[in-house]
Amino acid sequence: MPEQIEIVEELKSVSRPAVEPADFPLPVVPEWDELLRQANHVARLIDRHLDYEERGRRLLPNERLMPIGLCPEQRVNMSTDILAVTGS
């Protein structure tokens, strides 16, 4: 048992690399506007898919369709559209 305590103490005292303070101002993503535009486009695409599928179902007035509620074929259609838009 004393050997285990020594090992645990050694692990606690393992030196970690020094953390360098961040330079100010913090660097910003250079293509932030483009990433934001793509994210908004993908979010709109997902909303359109879900709205289209909601029209064919009887949902309660306060109920919304989520991606988990789509059948596999509908999920694949939505995923391929997202991949086509993002170019990934």
Domain ranges in the chain are: 29-78
CA-only gyration radius of the chain, Å = 25
Give per-residue pLDDT as tens, 20-47. 767 777 667 778 888 888 889 888 988 8
Peptide bond into 25 cis (omega under 30): yes
**What's the confidence (pLDDT) of residue 86?**
81
pTM above 0.85, yes or no: no
The rounded mean pLDDT for the chain is 77
Peptide bond into 30 cis (omega under 30): no
